């Protein structure tokens, strides 16, 4: 089944990045466009070309480097990527910060370490402190591999090649990852297989709609809790095993999204992107103000006690070759061979490993695995980390369980949550051998025509394709009623 255009878009982007270097590449002085000046105070990033929507500039340390969109695509100055002409919003588009509607009494306070104690609260002034005040050499280097979007034939076999039984943690358990699942085009038999193998299943949203960050409480409930209901019903995953979520396009829903997280029993969110920093940020609870710049501008401003934020530190190398990105597939590495991709990942990783050992999150969309050089470079990196005795590939929930009760490296083998033999007792049931492949009529709300969606599940086929307001596909509009758990 083909993915939606937006999901596969980045897979066809072949942006030509003019990098800093000395081997046949243009130096900053040669690549700098005399008619374009990087916006003062805006930092590194992509900016629209004032003359044409077919090009954009990547600003790195104040120098603009010219990039061209592939043939037939145009630069969208809102989403900062190349897309189809009818979807692109040409720039430069002036952005005016929305006036604050938060009363001052609701604003979160700065971290108070004397009042913030594990296992229920964790913060530090700049977000770089190791839990338990451990020394870096006594801290396990956690790697969290995360995958966004639908799980289906386009990516399932690629994921299986990443998580082979030959790749193991120091305690002999196979490495595991976290999947933030969206609904459309997902294969729930495959999702159930992932869960049964010990991977964590978390929610993205049902529709991946744009602009959700500006919607109200009911819209967030429908998207998040509806997605959780779909997973429990069609993939046989217990609600208690779905602990986290990620907002579409890393656009958190300000305070509204976090009210839903708190009201419906979620443990963590992983939607907050962080600009490039010399020292990476550790996950933290939202009892206090977030300890870094909010890249999206839609982060929570209130205190949400006990809710963990697992942020996405920006990926980059010292020269900024390839740019910087929250998702690894958003960095421009498409012209590299697998060895160069490996070296890029290694340098990015070592910023964590040789400093404060903050968890190294590796977030991916499907498009990373559509380019052989990127996939091969990833496998080289995975195999290299297997030679390091203090590196652990765990799910986000497993990482947080260590953070709530941090133990030095020499005692990590005793952690039950990281022990595959003990944790296997609570896994979801194995997937069936003869699933139902349900051909269901579906009409997206924004279109006037119907199409067919295939839903593969061990459960009985629903009456219609599950969607917002009808997560089980009963055929009754607005049949879903969700009540807060607290």
Q: Provide DSSP, 378-389.
A: HHHHHHHHTT-T
CATH class of 108-426: alpha beta
pLDDT band at 378 (very low <50, low <70, confident <90, very high): very high
Span 285-294, mean pLDDT?
96
- pLDDT-derived band at 104 (thresholds 50, 70, 90) equals very low
Average pLDDT over residues 449-458: 93
HSE, CB side, 13 Å, CA atoms: give it for residue 481. Answer: 1
Establish whether the linkage from the previous residue to 310 is cis, with ω within 30° of 0: no
As separate numbers, helices (DSSP H) first and strands (DSSP E) second, the chain gives: 10, 16
Instruction: Respond yes or no on whether the N-terminal peptide bond of residue 92 is cis (omega within 30° of 0).
Output: yes
Q: Give the class (CATH, top level) of 5-84.
A: mainly beta
C-alpha angle with apex 123: 136 to 317, nearest 5 degrees?
50
Tokens of 250: 């890393």
CA distance 482 to 462: 20
Taking residues 86-94, report their average pLDDT: 80
* Predicted local distance difference test score (pLDDT) of residue 239: 95
- Quote the mean pLDDT of the chain: 87
Q: What is the pLDDT of residue 92?
A: 86
Give pLDDT, residue 25.
37
Q: What are the structure tokens assigned to 272, written together?
A: 């907050």
Q: What's the gap between Cα 269 and its chain centre?
A: 10
Which residue is it, tokens 């492949």? Answer: 437
Contacts of 23 (CB under 8 A, 6+ apart): none
Report the pLDDT value the prediction gives residue 102, as an integer from 0 to 100: 47
Please give the share of the chain, as a percent, with pLDDT higher than 90: 67
To the question of pTM greater than 0.85 for the whole model, the response is no
Sign of the four-CA dihedral 62, 252, 316, 367: negative
**The tokens of 254 are what?**
């300000």
**Cβ atoms 267, 243 nearer than 8 A:** yes
Least confident of 94-108, 119-133, 250-264: 94-108
SS3 content of the chain, % helix, strand, coil (to 5): 30, 15, 55
Q: What is the pLDDT of residues 27-44, one digit of tens each?
A: 333 344 457 888 876 767
Q: Is 260 helix (H, G, I), strand (E, B) or coil?
A: helix
Note the pLDDT of residue 292: 95
* SS3 state at 392: strand
Tell me, rounded to whole angstroms, the distance of Cα 28 from its chain centroid.
Answer: 32
pLDDT tier at 72 (50, 70, 90 boundaries)?
Answer: low
Distances (CA, A) of 416 to 44, 129, 419: 42, 25, 5
More confident residue, 59 or 360: 360
Burial of 126 (0-12, 13-18, 19+ CB in 10 A): exposed
Token pair listed for 337: 């061979």
* Cα separation, 287 vs 396, whole angstroms: 19
Taking each helix axis as running N to C, give the angle between helix 217-234 and helix 254-263, from 0 to 180 degrees, rounded to the nearest 10.
40
Write phi, then psi, for 306 (nearest 5 degrees).
80, -10
Average pLDDT over residues 65-85: 73
33 CB-near residues (< 8 Å, 6+ apart): 57, 64, 66
- The token duo for 332 is 């421009």
Six-digit token string for 308: 């963990």
Structure tokens at 179: 């999947």
pLDDT top residue among 66 and 430: 430
Phi, psi of 73, deg, nearest 5: -115, 155
Model pLDDT, residue 76? 80
Q: Look-up: residue for tokens 């409930």?
A: 221
449 vs 424, higher pLDDT: 449
Residue predicted with more confidence, 278 or 59: 278
Collapsing DSSP states into helix, strand and coil, what is residue 137? helix
Cα gap 146→133, rounded to integer Å: 27
With 90 as the cut, is the pLDDT of residue 281 above it?
yes
Give the pair of three-digit tokens for residue 116.
């913030």
What stretches of 82-239 show up as alpha helix (H) in DSSP?
156-162, 188-196, 217-234
Sort 172 into a burial class: Cβ within 10 Å, 0-12 / 13-18 / 19+. Answer: exposed
E strands present in 415-484: 436-442, 451-457
Would you state the pLDDT for residue 353? 98
Q: For the segment 180-221, what is each residue's pLDDT rounded down to a tens digit?
A: 999 999 999 999 999 999 999 999 999 999 999 999 999 999
Domain boundaries, the chain: 5-84, 108-426
Task: Please check the confidence at residue 171 and state whether its pLDDT lies above 70.
Answer: yes
Region 287-295 average pLDDT: 94
For the chain, state the CA radius of gyration.
22
Separation of alpha carbons 365 and 155, rounded Å: 9
Lookup: tokens for 106:
């609701």
């Amino acid at each position: 089944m083909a993915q939606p255009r937006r999901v596969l878009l980045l897979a066809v982007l072949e942006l030509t990045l003019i990098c800093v270097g000395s081997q046949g590449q243009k130096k900053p002085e040669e690549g700098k466009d005399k008619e374009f000046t990087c916006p003062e105070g805006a930092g590194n990033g992509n900016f629209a070309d004032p003359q044409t929507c077919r090009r954009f500039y990547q600003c790195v340390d104040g120098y603009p480097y010219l990039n061209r969109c592939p043939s037939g695509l145009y630069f969208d100055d809102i989403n900062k990527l190349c897309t189809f002409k009818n979807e692109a919003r040409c720039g430069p588009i002036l952005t005016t910060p929305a006036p604050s509607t938060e009363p001052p009494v609701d604003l979160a306070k700065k971290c108070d370490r004397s009042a913030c104690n594990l296992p229920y609260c964790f913060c530090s002034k700049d977000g770089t402190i190791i839990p338990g005040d451990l020394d870096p050499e006594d801290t396990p280097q956690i790697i969290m591999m995360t995958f966004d979007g639908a799980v289906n034939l386009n990516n399932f076999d690629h994921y299986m090649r990443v998580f082979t039984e030959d790749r193991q943690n120091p305690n002999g358990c196979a490495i595991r990852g976290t999947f933030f699942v969206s609904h459309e085009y997902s294969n729930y038999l495959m999702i159930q297989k992932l869960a049964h193998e010990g991977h964590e299943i978390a929610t993205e949203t049902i529709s991946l709609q744009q602009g959700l960050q500006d919607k109200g409480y009911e819209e967030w409930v429908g998207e998040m809790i509806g997605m959780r209901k779909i997973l429990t019903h069609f993939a046989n995953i217990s609600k208690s095993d779905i602990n986290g979520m990620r907002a579409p396009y890393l656009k958190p829903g300000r305070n509204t999204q976090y009210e839903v997280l708190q009201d419906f029993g979620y443990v963590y969110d992983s939607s907050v992107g962080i600009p490039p920093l010399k020292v990476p940020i550790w996950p933290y609870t939202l009892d206090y103000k977030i300890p870094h710049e909010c890249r999206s501008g839609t982060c929570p401003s209130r205190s949400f006690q006990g809710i963990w934020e697992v942020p996405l530190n920006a990926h980059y190398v010292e020269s900024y070759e390839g740019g910087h990105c929250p998702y690894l597939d958003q960095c421009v590495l498409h012209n590299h061979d697998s060895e160069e991709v490996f070296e890029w990942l290694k340098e990015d990783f070592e910023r964590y490993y040789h400093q404060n050992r903050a968890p190294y999150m590796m977030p991916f969309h499907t498009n990373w695995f559509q380019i052989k050089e990127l996939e091969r470079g990833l496998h080289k990196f995975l195999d290299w980390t297997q030679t390091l005795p203090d590196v652990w590939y765990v799910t986000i929930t497993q990482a947080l369980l260590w953070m709530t009760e941090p133990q030095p490296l020499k005692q990590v083998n005793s952690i039950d949550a990281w022990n595959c033999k003990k944790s296997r007792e609570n896994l979801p049931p194995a997937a069936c051998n003869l699933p139902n492949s349900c051909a269901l009529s579906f009409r997206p709300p924004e279109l006037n025509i119907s199409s067919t969606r295939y839903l593969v599940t061990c459960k009985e086929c629903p009456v219609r394709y599950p969607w917002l307001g009808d997560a089980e596909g009963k055929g009754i509009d607005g049949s879903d009623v969700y009540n807060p758990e607290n």
